[in-house]
Amino acid sequence: MPMIDEKTAGNHSSDKATPEQKGEGPSLMISDMVTLDWGRLKDDEEEACIIFKAGKNQDGYFSAEDLLVQVEWAIDIFERKTNGFATGLFMFDNAPSHQKCAPDVVSA
C-alpha cells in the first residue's frame, strides 16, 4: 500500500485549515491568463505567462505596471487567435496590483 503524504492528501470539508510556515528559498510567482476554450492563453509566437522569483532580493514584486504589460501581451495573443473577430472580457481578482488608478485620479 502506498504511503500518503500529508501535504498532498485531500482534506475533508469539515477539516480545519492549518497554515504552514514558508520554507527556505525564494518564492516562485506565476501570473497567467487562462481561457475556457483554449486553456492557457498562448499562440505560436508568445504566451501571456509571467514567471519570476518574488521578493526584495530577487525579481521584486508583481506590480500594476507588470499586470498592464501582461494584459497588452494577452490582448495581442487574443486578437491574433481570433483574427479580430471576437471581443475578449478580462476579469481580475481583488489583488492590490489590480487596484491601481491613474496618478491624477481623485480618490474619495
In this structure, is residue 80 part of a structural domain?
Answer: yes
Instruction: Please tell me the pTM assigned to this model.
Output: 0.64
pLDDT in tens, 48-95: 998 888 877 887 777 878 888 899 999 999 999 999 899 988 887 776
The reported pLDDT for the residue numbered 80 is 92
The reported pLDDT for the residue numbered 61 is 78
pLDDT in tens, 4-54: 555 555 666 777 777 777 677 777 888 889 988 899 999 888 999 988 888
In this structure, is residue 54 part of a structural domain?
Answer: yes
b/e per residue, 67-102, with b = 16+ CB within 10 A?
beebeebbeebbeebeeeeeeeeeeeeeeebeeeee
Domain count, the chain: 1
| Domain that includes residue 81, residue range | 27-86
In this structure, is residue 69 part of a structural domain?
Answer: yes
In this structure, is residue 12 part of a structural domain?
Answer: no
In this structure, is residue 40 part of a structural domain?
Answer: yes
